[in-house]
Structure 1
Amino acid sequence: MRFVQGGYHVKSTQNDYIQLATSMFKTGILGYGGGPSVIPLIRHDAVMRYDWLNDDEFGETLAIANALPGPIATKMAAYLGYKLKGVRGAIVSVLAHILPSCIAMIALLSAINYLSGSKVVAGMIAGVSPVIAVMLGLMAYEFAQKAYKGLGKWLGLSFFLLALILLEVVQLHPAIVIVLFLAYGTIHYRAIAKVKRKQDKEGETS
């Protein structure tokens, strides 16, 4: 069963808070390396495991989170919590996500000098980095497939090259690039919807 809360359709279950807190706590523990490394973990739970969002909604939410200031993962956690349980859910979600980091910082503060020069820790970091790269690569590939289906081969490739030039050559801020592409997407799909409505009307009159 679904009900509407805050303008969104969400699942009505008694375990929403537990699932939300467990998922965000897990991503806070396993998401080593900052926001980008956490996104595939959040996507797995939000899209594939609990069905809080579909892939399109997740992509749109991720784009908006990138455009806004602050840590990406924390903004995603807040959005998911708000979508499921409103303001209270957002608070629970964010607290569950940042709690592991807070505990780890407090527990390891006294040993930071030792850990920074430890060969064991350096080896752990070297082992985790390829896993994060593969996870991000898989997520990027899946989004590229959706762009290919929605825009076509050549237009999708052109936008990829344009984004690469703006980010790496022009060195435009990522938030500006995201806003530009969001603006184009809004105009593009509104134009398509307008043409489709016109064609439907012509079909009805003929």
Structure 2
Amino acid sequence: MKQVDLFLAFFRVGMLGYGGGPSSIPLVHKEVVERYKWMNEDDFADVLALGNTLPGPIATKMAGYIGYRVAGIIGMMNAVFATITPTIILMIILLTSLSSFKNLPWVSGMTKAVVPVVGVMLATLTWDFFKKSRNTLGIRNACLIVGASFVLLEVFHFHPAILIGALLLFALVRKDKTRKGNENVEKGGGL
């Protein structure tokens, strides 16, 4: 049953994730965290951050990791296959037929109408992540990281993977220093 659930979850993501990786992230979240509860919010955020640092399409990376975590190697292959199957089918069927109708106004309008919907889905997911980070980091640190990230991405055109990698490295170093400080306090030493 787990394999069937994995296939259905990622097949839905593949079918409804119109617009590529960014539009599929909220769909993966809905399936994995809310519907099947294979992960909690923290785990999903970690998978998303790690997936963004690696090359390749985010939907297949997330499907591979989540499938492996839920049902091992077979689960990984199942989830990746379920994610890419709709794309393969739709590319063959839709692109061949849409290319002959691409100049019609309703086709152009349909493709343009999807952009705001994807924007709203991403904004909702962003707001959820901000609320979570506000609770764990505090409002000041969360706003500082959001502001600095925005400036680095939009003004200085940093690649998102570099920024995410730097933040992950900072978190690891800081966690290690915090752990060493706590060990010193427990042994009777000072910070």
Q: Same-fold call, TM > 0.5?
A: yes
Q: State the identity %.
A: 39
Residue 12 of structure 2 is matched in structure 1 by 26
Q: CA deviation at 1:198?
A: 4.7
Q: CA deviation at 1:127?
A: 2.9
Distance in 2 between the 1:196 and 1:48 partners? 35
Residue 131 of structure 2 is matched in structure 1 by 145
Residue 89 of structure 1 is matched in structure 2 by 75
Distance in 2 between the 1:62 and 1:110 partners? 33
SS at match of 1:172: coil
User: Which segments of 5 or more consecutive residues in structure 2 lack a partner in the other structure?
Assistant: none
Residue 110 of structure 2 is matched in structure 1 by 124
Question: Which letter maps to 2:137?
Answer: L
Distance in 2 between the 1:90 and 1:37 partners? 21
* C-alpha distance after superposition, 1:47-73 (max 9, x if no partner): 111111110110011011000000001
Q: CA deviation at 1:84?
A: 1.2
Distance 1:194 1:118, change over 3 A: farther
Q: Root-mean-square deviation (CA), in Å?
A: 1.6
Distance in 1 between the 2:67 and 2:43 partners? 15
Mapped pair 1:188 → 2:169: no
Distance 1:130 1:199, change over 3 A: same
SS at match of 2:134: helix
Q: CA deviation at 1:143?
A: 0.6
Distance in 2 between the 1:16 and 1:90 partners? 12
Distance in 2 between the 1:174 and 1:116 partners? 33
Residue 91 of structure 2 is matched in structure 1 by 105
Residue 64 of structure 1 is matched in structure 2 by 50
* C-alpha distance after superposition, 1:124-159 (max 9, x if no partner): 223332222111111101111111122212221111
Q: How many residues align?
A: 188
SS at match of 1:51: coil
Distance 1:97 1:131, change over 3 A: same
* C-alpha distance after superposition, 1:87-128 (max 9, x if no partner): 111111111111111011111343242232222222222333
Q: 1:164 aligns with which of 132, 144, 150?
A: 150
User: Which segments of 5 or more consecutive residues in structure 1 lack a partner in the other structure?
Assistant: 1-14
Q: CA deviation at 1:81?
A: 0.8
Q: CA deviation at 1:199?
A: 4.7
Distance 1:32 1:109, change over 3 A: closer
